[in-house]
Structure 1
Amino acid sequence: RDGRLAPCPDRPNCVSSQASDLDHAIAPLPFQGDAAAAAASLAGVIRAMPRASLVTAKPGYLHAEFASATMGFVDDAEFAVDAAAHVIHVRSAARLGRSDFGVNRKRVDAIRAAFAAVHP
């Protein structure tokens, strides 16, 4: 959808780098160099994460599912590459419930740190 990720619902279990409200806003993942190489590095980071499954990997877009450790609840994370701005936009949201106790925000922060380590 023209590099736009779906907006977060009116629940605190979603974060997005394209959200304008502080409850849902999170910074995109910055990268240097080639966008395709950055996306490939990000795909590698996701594949290495526990209980993660890379569902879709196509040019400029990744979709991953993450299962919770205890109950097996599934969260969705989407990534849209903005080559011109040298950032990867991210949206991570729980499929069920209202609150995620900050899990999606923490996950994106962990992905950011791991991505920065392999693709500065």
Structure 2
Amino acid sequence: MIFTGKRPNNLGVRDGKLAPCPNSPNCVSSQSTDAVHQIAPLNFTSTPEEAIANLKNVIQSLPRTKIITENPDYLYAEFKSALMGFIDDVEFYLDRNTNLIQVRSASRLGQSDLGVNRKRIETIRAKFSELN
């Protein structure tokens, strides 16, 4: 049984912002202001071009990932769970003014994700910081 759900239509960057998290706890965002959803953005000291290339390498090094959209300031990837095939939508927006990469990771289906989205971003952060 595969639980992929439909790709959300609110993905992408609008006015420098990623989509807000829904009320369910299965989403984290560096642009969220509430404690349930808040997570720190990624920071970098390299050039923006190197930062996005490094981030892409980190994402591609993780299992069951597929980069869907890629441009100089934005990456969108789908992460599939090993057991049931749940898909999480993960976005990264590089803000050239602040040397930060805003992040959003959200499950498509269900309520709780048992902290999977938060753990994923922290894994990406650790691997990314080794490169930057």
Same fold per TM (> 0.5)? yes
Which consecutive segments of 4 or more residues in structure 1 shift more than 4 A? Answer: none
Q: Once the 2 structures are TM-superposed, how far is the Cα of residue 102 of structure 1 from its aligned partner?
A: 0.2
Q: Once the 2 structures are TM-superposed, how far is the Cα of residue 84 of structure 1 from its aligned partner?
A: 1.1
Instruction: Give unpaired runs (5+ residues) of structure 2.
Output: 1-13
User: CA–CA distance in 2 between the matches of 1:2 and 1:59?
Assistant: 16
Percent of aligned pairs with the same amino acid: 55
Q: Secondary structure at the match of 2:52?
A: helix
- AA in 1 matched with 2:19: A
User: What corresponds to 1:111 in structure 2?
Assistant: 124
- AA in 1 matched with 2:126: A
Aligned length: 119
User: CA–CA distance in 1 between the matches of 2:119 and 2:21?
Assistant: 16
Q: Once the 2 structures are TM-superposed, how far is the Cα of residue 59 of structure 1 from its aligned partner?
A: 1.5
User: CA–CA distance in 2 between the matches of 1:36 and 1:21?
Assistant: 31
| Residue 19 (structure 1) aligned with residue 32 (structure 2) | yes
Candidates 43, 52, 55, aligned match of 2:68: 55
| Residue 46 (structure 1) aligned with residue 67 (structure 2) | no
Instruction: Give unpaired runs (5+ residues) of structure 1.
Output: none
Candidates 87, 91, 95, aligned match of 1:82: 95
Q: TM-score, normalised by structure 2?
A: 0.88
Contact 1:16 1:24 in 2 (8 A): yes
Q: TM-score, normalised by structure 1?
A: 0.97
Query: Could you say what the CA RMSD is over the residues aligned between the two structures, in angstroms?
Result: 0.6
| Residue 34 (structure 1) aligned with residue 37 (structure 2) | no
Q: Secondary structure at the match of 2:57?
A: helix
